[in-house]
Amino acid sequence: MSTIEKNSNEADKLWGGRFTESTDAFVEAFTASITFDKRLYKHDIAGSKAHAKMLQKVGILTPQEVDDIHTGLDEIIEDIEAGNFEWSIQLEDIHMNIEARLTDKIGITGKKLHTGRSRNDQVATDIRLWLREQIDLISAELKRLQSGLVEVAEREAETILPGFTHLQVAQPITFGHHMMAWYEMLVRDFERLQDCRKRVNILPLGAAALAGTTYPIDRDYTAELLGFDCASNNSLDSVSDRDFAIEFISAASLIMMHLSRFSEELVLWTSAQFNFINLPDRFCTGSSIMPQKKNPDVPELVRGKTGRVYGNLISLLTIMKSQPLAYNKDNQEDKEPLFDTVDTLLGSLRAFADMMPHVTTNEESMRQAAMQGFSTATDLADYLVGKDMPFRDAHEVVGNAVAYGVETGKDLSEMTLEELQKFSDVIGKEVFEVLTLEGSVSARNHLGGTAPAQVLARVAEAKS
Interacting stretch for ligand ARG, rule CB under 6 A, among 134-142, 287-295, 329-337, 385-393? 329-337
Cis geometry, peptide bond prior to residue 140 (ω within 30 degrees of 0): no
- Given 33, 114, 118, 166, the catalytic residue: 166
Q: In a 3-state reduction of DSSP, which class is residue 296?
A: coil
Answer yes or no: 95 catalytic: no
Q: In a 3-state reduction of DSSP, which class is residue 447?
A: coil
Give yes or no for residue 97 binding ligand ARG (CB under 6 A).
Answer: no
DSSP letters of 186-214? Answer: HHHHHHHHHHHHHHHSEE-TT-TTTT--S
The rounded distance, in Å, linking the Cα atoms of 405 and 411 is: 6
Give yes or no for residue 33 binding ligand ARG (CB under 6 A).
Answer: yes
HEC-encoded secondary structure of 80-143: HHCCCCCEEHHHCCHHHHHHHHHHHHHHHHHHHCCCCCCHHHHHHHHHHHHHHHHHHHHHHHHH
Interacting stretch for ligand ARG, rule CB under 6 A, among 118-126, 183-191, 372-380, 413-421? 118-126
Nearer to ligand ARG, 175 or 248 (CB): 248
Give yes or no for residue 123 binding ligand ARG (CB under 6 A).
Answer: yes
Q: Residues binding ligand ARG: what is the number (CB under 6 A)?
A: 9
SS3 content of the chain, % helix, strand, coil (to 5): 65, 5, 30
**Minimum distance from residue 331 beta carbon to ligand ARG (Å):** 5
Give yes or no for residue 93 binding ligand ARG (CB under 6 A).
Answer: yes
**Minimum distance from residue 212 beta carbon to ligand ARG (Å):** 16
Nearer to ligand ARG, 113 or 451 (CB): 113
**Minimum distance from residue 95 beta carbon to ligand ARG (Å):** 6
Q: In a 3-state reduction of DSSP, which class is residue 332?
A: helix
Answer yes or no: 375 catalytic: no
Give yes or no for residue 332 binding ligand ARG (CB under 6 A).
Answer: yes
Nearest to 149 by CA among 299, 354, 356: 356
Interacting stretch for ligand ARG, rule CB under 6 A, among 154-162, 327-335, 359-367, 394-402? 327-335
The sign of the CA dihedral 21, 22, 27, 30 is: positive
Contact 436, 380 (CB under 8 A): no
Give yes or no for residue 119 binding ligand ARG (CB under 6 A).
Answer: yes
Q: Which residues bind ligand ARG (CB under 6 A)?
A: 33, 37, 93, 119-120, 123, 329, 331-332
Task: Give catalytic residues, as residue numbers.
Answer: 166, 287
